[in-house]
Copies of this chain bind each other. A is one copy, B any other.
Amino acid sequence: MTKIKALPEPTLRRIPKYIHLLMQMKKQGVVHVSSATIADELGLDSIQVRKDLSLAGMVGKPKVGFDMTELVEGLMNILNWGNLKEAFLAGAGNLGEAILGYKKFNDYGLNIVAAFDNDESKIGKKIYGIEILPIEKIANMIKRMHIKIGVITAPPEHAQEVANLMIEGGIWAIWNFAPVHLKIPEDIILENVQLSHSLSALTYKLAEKIKTNDYKIPN
């Protein structure tokens, strides 16, 4: 395998889009695909697609495009999908439950094997077959089970605390859904999902749009 240097962040964020599209096309029996087709489908530029794929170490053939199977597998490989990693989730509220229920994450390498909460009434119960344990145990269990990924769906006021416990246990990566800025050591991987941030971008753009269209309010 050719050595690939770390992918630029924007490229990294486009790769899952490619994979999704390609899996879909593959299911429909397509065996070759050109950068132009991918670009078209995703509303991107074909040059950019080619660049991304090239950065990812994929090679195509002139006049033919890329081999579908090779491409899907190559990209999935890069993202390390298919290499299932066990994870713990902390915070069995609404959002936590939604995530536990979303089995699709298995396809992306995430296998949540236990959930933790501080609410007595929840402990011992099972959600989608996953047992809820007292939060005090999380550090020890991370250590014992060599868990690498922690998912934080706790309320904001407890998120830092939970992160600290995970770090204490020796976690390697945190997928954080709490709307706070976690302070964690540099060498720990942190991915934030801040729904409110995404929503902000939307409301900002909507406000802009309303401003420019305001001379004529559509009725």
Contact of A203 among B9, B85, B195, B219 (CB under 8 A): B85
Minimum CB distance partner of A174 in chain B: B202
Q: Does A15 contact B (CB under 8 A)?
A: yes
A200 at the interface (CB under 8 A from B): yes
Given the interface pairs A202-B175, A203-B109, the reply to whether A197 lies near B102 with Cβ below 8 Å is no
Which residues from B are CB-within-8-Å of A109?
199, 203
In the bound complex, CA of A6 to CA of B207 (Å): 11
A73-108 vs B, CB cutoff 8 Å, 1 = contact: the mask equals 000001111010100000000110111011011011
Does the CB pair A189–B206 fall under 8 Å? yes
Q: Given the complex, which residues of B lie within 8 Å of A31, measured CB to CB?
A: none
Tell me the bound Cα distance from A198 to B203 in angstroms.
21
Kindly state whether residue A61 has any CB partner on chain B within 8 Å: no
Query: When chains A and B are docked, how far (Å) is the Cα of A52 from the Cα of B196?
Result: 19
B-contacting residues of A (Cβ < 8 Å)? 6-7, 9, 12-13, 15-17, 20-21, 41-43, 78-81, 83, 85, 94-95, 97-99, 101-102, 104-105, 107-110, 146, 148-149, 170, 172-173, 175, 179-181, 189, 191-210, 218-219
A133 to B74, CA, bound (A): 43
Complex partner residue of A179 from B104, B201, B205, CB under 8 angstroms:
B104
Chain B residues with CB under 8 A of A198? 175, 191-193
Do the beta carbons of B181 and A20 come within 8 Å of each other? yes
A149 partner, pick from B43, B94, B202, beta carbons under 8 A: B202
A16 touches B79 (CB 8 A): no
